[in-house]
Amino acid sequence: MPKVLIADDLSPRALDIFRSRGVEVDVRVGLKKSELVEIIAGYDGLAVRSATKADKDVIAAATKLKVIGRAGIGVDNIDVAAATARGIVVMNTPFGNSITTAEHSIALLFAAARQIAAADVSTQAGKWEKNRFMGVELYAKTLGLIGCGNIGALVAERALALKMKVIAYDPFLSAERAVKLGVEKVDLDDLLSRADAISLHTPLTDKTKNILSVEALAKTKQGVIIVNAARGGLVDERALRAALETGHVGAAGFDVFITEPAKDSVLFGAPNFVATPHLGASTNEAQENVALQVAEQISDYLLTGAVTNSLNMASVSAEEASRLKPYIGLIDKLGSFAGQIADDGIEAVDIEYEGEVALLNTQPLTAIALASLMRPLMPDVNMVSAPAVLKHKGALLTESKRETSPIYGSLIRIKVLTGGRWRILAGVVNAGTAKIVEVKGMALEADFHPVMLLINNIDRPGFIGALGTMLGEASINIATFHLGRQAAEQDALAIVGVDQIVPEAIQEKLRALPHVRYVKVLQF
């Protein structure tokens, strides 16, 4: 009989699910790390929320562990890489608290617009300051959504019911999906200049960190309301404090902060600022939903091998996994490559399978490709949820198979439509090693390197020498160098494996070289 440890508070109904399915379960909440390390070897499954840290030490001690289930979305408390290396499936419950978080965003919007928190303190102190708390009516105002995924769409639905106009900035949002939601898709600058209120619903990535920077806030309307119930770090907190002090930002409501628990914050005490302690998912209904989901998912995996909402494993049978194994590493890297060069969001994806791989069940491969493709902008996406998320965004996915390949035994090609342009690359597995064999229609053969420099240029004399000199002067060591071109004086590509990250200043110098069209640093 499989045995599961529940290490954080979950609904009692989760225990009922485990026991009714024939899974033995222990509840040990509040364990110290040393205590968890000491006992974890006795369990096949681990169910956690956010308090328990399943780090590399815990995972190293978990000699029997087969699955870790997170009742919630974020897995910052789980070392997914270490779990993957040990063959442990990591699952989350990505949609169990969406409604709750959307409702909390609307609650913060109302609270900020009507200064409810400050008015409550004043009134209960017996002051009755009616003239002090002049609010803002939300009717007919424009709400700008930064991010319009699952939660953002729910916020849009509720805002539209309030008779607000909703505009949205989201690289993944298609025009068709925007029309269906009843929102207007806009670019970021347009949103900043038009919105009476801005609500954030995007993950924290390198691209979204401080998306509301001091410069972005300066572009907003006088008196704008800012709401953040997504992730700390999306807003420059010091810049927001200054804007609240001057009155340029009329009010703000925050549920998340750069440092949590937020015992102290530059925003505390700012004029017209209301704060809550990361309550977005804190309702009885949401906690019940995620607890029941994680119990079902862990039970299914331990009893039947079924995988749902996994961050590190696609849904696939044991026999299929053995046949697909040589191609999993290849398509994961191809997807990551394509995602890193999809600079203007993802409008459509086309995946082509040629040769022997086309005869296999390619659904797991496609799911892996989509997860890798979207992860630069959506780090929480996984191999199971990726196809549904892409469909929800309105991006078109096509998959084609051809049983023969002109040159190779098997070839996988990924095409991504981004900013109205197709980015195309292909790869193969050669002697067990994943290789790039085509980029932008140009043939070349290159190994994947942990850090790679992709350069698109016009093929004219002097470029390679200038590139080598510039990297050498910057003490950047070249590990591999591969070239492809259409013809002399035409389009060419260089894929350069380097031993360290190329600083932005050097990238700008490379872009300034004659005939260079595009420069991108890729990481694998």
Average pLDDT over residues 105-133: 96
Q: To which H or E segment does residue 243 belong?
A: helix 237-246
Choice among 201, 231, 375, 482 that is catalytic: 231
Measured torsion, CA atoms of residues 311, 316, 321, 327, in degrees rounded to the nearest 10: -60
Q: Which two tokens stand for residue 364?
A: 């797991």
Query: How many CA atoms within 13 Å lie on the side-chain side of 147?
Result: 26
Taking the alpha carbons of 452, 457, 459, 461 in that order, is the dihedral positive or negative?
Answer: negative
> Hey, how many other C-beta atoms are within 10 angstroms of the C-beta on 190?
15
Q: Which two tokens stand for residue 67?
A: 């699955």
Q: What are φ and ψ of residue 89, in 5° steps? A: -75, 135
Of 109, 119, 120, 142, the residue nearest 229 (C-alpha): 109
Bridge-based pairing of strands 348-355 and 249-254 is unpaired
pLDDT higher than threshold 90 for residue 489 = no
Q: Which residues contact 425 (CB under 8 A, 6 or more apart)?
A: 334, 337, 338, 413, 414, 436, 438, 439, 440
What are the pLDDT digits (tens) for 178-193?
Answer: 999 999 999 999 999 9
Q: Which two tokens stand for residue 509?
A: 């110098």
Q: What are φ and ψ of residue 274, in 5° steps? A: -120, 135
Q: To which H or E segment does residue 142 belong?
A: strand 142-146
Q: Can 319 be counted among the known catalytic residues? A: no
- Tracing tokens 């009507």 back to the chain, one arrives at 114
Q: Which two tokens stand for residue 77?
A: 């408390």
Average pLDDT over residues 332-354: 95
pLDDT higher than threshold 70 for residue 320 = no
DSSP, collapsed to helix, strand or coil, labels residue 50 as coil
Q: What is the pLDDT of residue 521?
A: 95
Instruction: In whole angstroms, give the CA distance from residue 437 to residue 422.
Output: 17
Percent of the chain with pLDDT over 90: 78
- Res. 196 pLDDT band, cuts 50 70 90: very high
Average pLDDT over residues 454-472: 90
Q: Which residues contact 195 (CB under 8 A, 6 or more apart)?
A: 142, 143, 144, 167, 220, 221, 224
Q: Which residues contact 63 (CB under 8 A, 6 or more apart)?
A: 41
Q: Can 260 be counted among the known catalytic residues? A: yes
pLDDT higher than threshold 70 for residue 426 = yes
Q: What is the pLDDT of residue 389?
A: 82
> Hey, how many other C-beta atoms are within 10 angstroms of the C-beta on 61?
14
Secondary structure percentages of the chain, helix, strand, coil, to 5: 35, 25, 40
Instruction: In whole angstroms, give the CA distance from residue 269 to residue 241.
Output: 9
Task: Tell me the domains of the chain and their CATH numbers.
Answer: 1-95+283-313 (3.40.50.720), 98-275 (3.40.50.720), 314-439 (3.30.1330.90), 450-524 (3.30.70.260)
Q: What is the pLDDT of residue 321?
A: 65
Average pLDDT over residues 289-301: 94
Choice among 114, 278, 375, 482 that is catalytic: 278
Contact by Cβ (8 Å): 376, 207: yes
Average pLDDT over residues 341-364: 93
Between residues 211 and 205, which one has the greater pLDDT? 211
Q: What is the pLDDT of residue 382?
A: 72
- Res. 319 pLDDT band, cuts 50 70 90: low
Average pLDDT over residues 424-432: 94
Q: What is the pLDDT of residue 81?
A: 83
Contact by Cβ (8 Å): 521, 506: no
Q: What is the pLDDT of residue 317?
A: 57
What are the pLDDT digits (tens) for 436-462?
Answer: 999 998 999 999 999 999 999 998 888
Percent of the chain with pLDDT over 70: 98
**End-to-end C-alpha distance for the chain, whole angstroms:** 39
Q: Can 460 be counted among the known catalytic residues? A: no
Q: What is the pLDDT of residue 94?
A: 83
Instruction: In whole angstroms, give the CA distance from residue 349 to residue 415.
Output: 6
Q: What is the pLDDT of residue 82?
A: 87
pLDDT higher than threshold 60 for residue 13 = yes
Instruction: In whole angstroms, give the CA distance from residue 429 to residue 125.
Output: 72
Average pLDDT over residues 240-264: 96
- Res. 47 pLDDT band, cuts 50 70 90: very high
- Res. 22 pLDDT band, cuts 50 70 90: very high
- Tracing tokens 């699955």 back to the chain, one arrives at 67
| In 384-512, beta strands by DSSP E | 396-402, 410-418, 421-430, 433-439, 442-447, 451-458, 478-485, 491-498
Q: What is the pLDDT of residue 315?
A: 61
Contact by Cβ (8 Å): 432, 326: yes
Of 42, 43, 40, 44, the residue nearest 55 (C-alpha): 40
Q: pTM of the entire structure? A: 0.72
Choice among 35, 176, 245, 260 that is catalytic: 260
| Helices 504-511, 463-473: crossing angle, 10 deg rounding | 160
What are the pLDDT digits (tens) for 375-400?
Answer: 988 887 877 568 878 888 899 999 99
- Res. 40 pLDDT band, cuts 50 70 90: very high
Q: Which two tokens stand for residue 475?
A: 């003490």
Average pLDDT over residues 2-8: 97
- Tracing tokens 């240029």 back to the chain, one arrives at 457
Q: To which H or E segment does residue 304 belong?
A: helix 284-304
The average confidence (pLDDT) of the chain is 93
Buried b (16+ CB within 10 A) or exposed e, 167-185: bbbbbbbbeebbeebebbb
Q: Which two tokens stand for residue 466?
A: 């200038």
Judged by average pLDDT, the poorest of 266-280, 370-384, 401-415 is: 370-384
- Tracing tokens 């989509």 back to the chain, one arrives at 370
Average pLDDT over residues 350-374: 93
Q: What is the pLDDT of residue 380?
A: 73
